[in-house]
Chains A and B, each alone.
Chain A
Amino acid sequence: MKHLSFGKFLAHFFLLIIVFIWVIPTFGLLISSLRDKDQVALTGWWTALKHNEFNEIVRTEKSTVQFEENGVFVITGNLLKSAPSKSVINFGITSKNPKAFKAPSKVTMKNGSTFYLQKDGSYRWTSDKAFKHKKGKRIFLTVNTPPSLTLENYKEVLVFRGLGQSFINSLTVAVPSTIIPLIIGAFAAYALSWMNFYGRDLIFATIVCLLVVPLQMSLIPILTVYNQIGNFFGVSAKSYVGIWLAHTGFGLPLKIFLLRNFIKSLPHEMFEAARVDGASHYQIFMKIILPLSIPAFASIGILQFLWVWNDLLVALVFLDKMPSEIVLTSRLREMLGEFSQNWEILTTSAFVSMIVPLFVFLSLQRYFIRGLVAGSVKG
């Protein structure tokens, strides 16, 4: 008994470690997408909930804002631009010693003027003589920055980086590319399971072969055909219709295969009874098979939808990169080059591209798993 409970403990322990490793990367992405962009660039996301110290170099106001008060010349202002959540810890007036003083304190400058800096960044700089400097004086700050989570990055990528548009483009590709192969596949699957016609077994054997053909085999010839059609009619070779059909073609063998397995597993008697009543195949399909196949459609549809939504290769080859056509994955890949150091943009964009799949996954997980398990059995 003691031995068993130790085994149990190990199971908990190892699984916990694995789950932890699995979740951490995505979690880091989500946190980073919610952080302030300066903080993302400077500190690790795991410090997001800590107060962080940043070094800043700021300048005081120019001499033009000085005023005279009881015979003393005064400049006042706020080095933190009145950000109420930040506070100054240390400051310095030379680059050699940027943390020389602790705020708040009074410092005498070289020229005899007095500089008084408070924790909130507001300062009062006084001198007996009039200030003459043209540029503001440099002050070195160590600033305590509280954790702040913001949706600013999401606004940035959705509105200004064209991701909102790409989101709709992705939907425009994915929804028809899911429904069309399901409809075409369902009719073909029915014919292959319940109808007798010449060459049926050969067609099905061909479909079994096509299941594993890599889509790389199709890219060059189909692109050539599309270009020729485009040239002939004087239209663009890259279009939504083109990519719908391409996705339909690449997904169809698996859709037919899975739907045939499903339709074939339906009870034979029900089908015979309908025949005796004089129903044609078309009527049987529409009135009996279709309603019964809804769960199968859901599983297979989710599989295809996620496949198309997450696809990059087909979109790169068959869709244009202009704003009205570029899909999320393709745009994300562009951004990896464009903003290679702007992690707040990259993490936010990646998360935007994951929202729909994650929603589908979490709400329809049961169907998704069913589809995957059925789909993998094909080998």
Chain B
Amino acid sequence: MTFFNFIVYVVIGVSAVLSYFVLANWAHDYLVGKFSKKNLQDSIFRPWIFMAPALIILLVYLIYPVSETIRLSFFDNYGREFTGVSNYVWALNDSDFRQSILNNFLWLIVVPTTCTFLGLTIATLADRVWWGVFAKTLIFMPMAISFVGASVIWKFVYEYRGAGNDQIGILNAIIVYFGGDPHAWIAIPFWNNFFLMVIMIWIQTGLAMVIFSAALRAIPEETLEAARIDGASEVRIFFYIIIPFLSETIVVIWTTITILVLKVFDIVLAMTNGQWGTEVLANLMFDWMFRGGGDSGRGSTIALFIMLGVIPIMIWNLRRFKMEQER
């Protein structure tokens, strides 16, 4: 793959898609136009020409796989023989799986909470200082970095050298400076989970902050002004006016980060690959997809547990969408 090949690939790939739409509509106009000019405007075929590629791709890449994954979870490792709920029984008795469920819960509790809290704090503080925009840009920057890249960054922060040597990881260097002992942070069971979560929090706080910033600006100035004239303190205003105003935003941020955290994979793979008690569902599933030639039954079962976590959010979304339609 050279740079020239790259250009050729892109041109071919994109023009293939474009030409479908151009050619299909041209053919449609030509054929329908033969029968009646009027039908061109409200042709019953045209919506399907517009929708066809999207529908086919959604069907092939999402709808079929979801049903197939459900089916496979009741079959053996090659997906040939029906084995009932044996994959589920295996999962519930597997120590790695149990560990993953526990860790995922831990992530679900800690990460969205911390991101929301920090995001709101930073958005509020940044509104009060003249260099707020600059501060927000810096805090938001990790959003652009990949999870793997962020893992390298933080692995370097946590880097451990035996006591007595110069520490090159900044965390241990600070601890040694204040007279503490250096530790290999990502290998300390249970607590290492939190060191991995820090990476996700570092990335996602920017998202929470940006959304809160937009929401804070939408709070009517008169309301705040009125409260101030009545003598309410800034703290009271924050808890009695700003927080209630932001309740919907908080829910939105919470769900967005929750969905992301349920699927957390890259960070665990890059930092520990699930060792030292840091396994999570997505990494375990990836492992089973390829372990010993791949076990589609167990892999699918684990995927279904991840799916289980998003179903409440899905239903809530759907209800909100319905309410919007009726409005």
A-side residues, CB < 8 A to B, are 7-8, 11-12, 14-15, 18-19, 22-26, 28-29, 32, 40-46, 165, 168-169, 171-172, 175-176, 179-180, 183-185, 187-188, 190-192, 195-197, 200-201, 203-225, 240-241, 244-246, 248-250, 252-253, 256, 275, 278-282, 285, 306, 309-313, 316-317, 324-325, 328-329, 332-333, 336, 343, 346-347, 349-350, 353-354, 357-358, 360-361, 365, 368-369, 372-373, 376-379
| A183 / chain B contacts, CB cutoff of 8 Å | 14, 17-18, 21
Interchain Cβ contacts under 8 Å between A and B, 8 examples: A42-B166, A216-B285, A220-B296, A224-B296, A312-B147, A333-B269, A333-B270, A379-B251
| B316 / chain A contacts, CB cutoff of 8 Å | 379
Contact A249 B61 (CB under 8 A): yes
With most chain B CB atoms within 10 A of its CB, the pick from A11, A312, A346, A361 is: A312
| B66 / chain A contacts, CB cutoff of 8 Å | 213, 217-218
Contact A369 B152 (CB under 8 A): no
| A25 / chain B contacts, CB cutoff of 8 Å | 153-154, 156-157, 170, 202
**Which of B92-100, B106-114, B123-131, B180-188 contacts its partner?**
B123-131
Contact B139 A203 (CB under 8 A): no
Contact B155 A278 (CB under 8 A): no
Contact A26 to B25, CB < 8 A, known contacts A175-B10, A218-B62 = no
B-side binding surface: helix, strand, loop or mixed?
Answer: helix
| A45 / chain B contacts, CB cutoff of 8 Å | 168, 170
Tell yes or no: B229 within 8 A of A by CB: no
Contact of B68 among A204, A211, A213, A221 (CB under 8 A): A221
Please name the 8 residue pairs, one residue from A and one from B, whose CB atoms are nearest each other, closest first. Answer: A249-B61, A310-B146, A188-B54, A361-B144, A221-B68, A197-B47, A191-B50, A218-B65
| A210 / chain B contacts, CB cutoff of 8 Å | 58, 62-63
Count of chain B residues with Cβ under 8 Å from any Cβ of A? Answer: 115
Contact A217 to B65, CB < 8 A, known contacts A41-B168, A209-B314, A282-B29 = yes
Contact B299 A220 (CB under 8 A): yes
Contact B168 A11 (CB under 8 A): no
Contact B286 A15 (CB under 8 A): no
Contact A312 B146 (CB under 8 A): yes
How many angstroms from the CA of A280 to the CA of B60 in the assembled complex? 30
Contact A317 to B149, CB < 8 A, known contacts A217-B307, A373-B210 = no
- Digit string of B57-73 for contact with A (CB within 8 Å is 1, else 0)? 11011111110110010
Contact A222 to B156, CB < 8 A, known contacts A275-B41, A372-B143 = no
Contact A216 to B317, CB < 8 A, known contacts A310-B145, A354-B149, A376-B253 = no
| A285 / chain B contacts, CB cutoff of 8 Å | 50
Contact B156 A214 (CB under 8 A): no
| B155 / chain A contacts, CB cutoff of 8 Å | 336, 346
Contact B142 A26 (CB under 8 A): yes
Contact of A184 among B53, B68, B211 (CB under 8 A): B53
**Which of B82-90, B219-227, B258-266 contacts its partner?**
B258-266
How many angstroms from the CA of A8 to the CA of B124 in the assembled complex? 12
| Residues 233-289 of B contacting A (Cβ, < 8 Å) | 234, 251-253, 255-256, 259, 262-263, 265-266, 269-270, 282, 285-286, 289
Q: How far is the CB of A294 from chain B (nearest CB, A)?
A: 16
How many angstroms from the CA of A187 to the CA of B21 in the assembled complex? 9
Contact B168 A358 (CB under 8 A): no
Q: Which residue of A lies closest to B11 (CB)?
A: A176
Interface Cβ pair total, 8 Å cutoff: 349
Contact A280 to B46, CB < 8 A, known contacts A15-B135, A332-B149, A379-B320 = yes
How many angstroms from the CA of A215 to the CA of B282 in the assembled complex? 10
Q: How far is the CB of B230 from chain A (nearest CB, A)?
A: 17
Q: How far is the CB of A102 from chain B (nearest CB, A)?
A: 23
Contact A42 to B210, CB < 8 A, known contacts A216-B306, A353-B149 = no
Tell yes or no: B163 within 8 A of A by CB: no
Contact A376 B143 (CB under 8 A): no
| B144 / chain A contacts, CB cutoff of 8 Å | 306, 354, 357-358, 360-361, 368
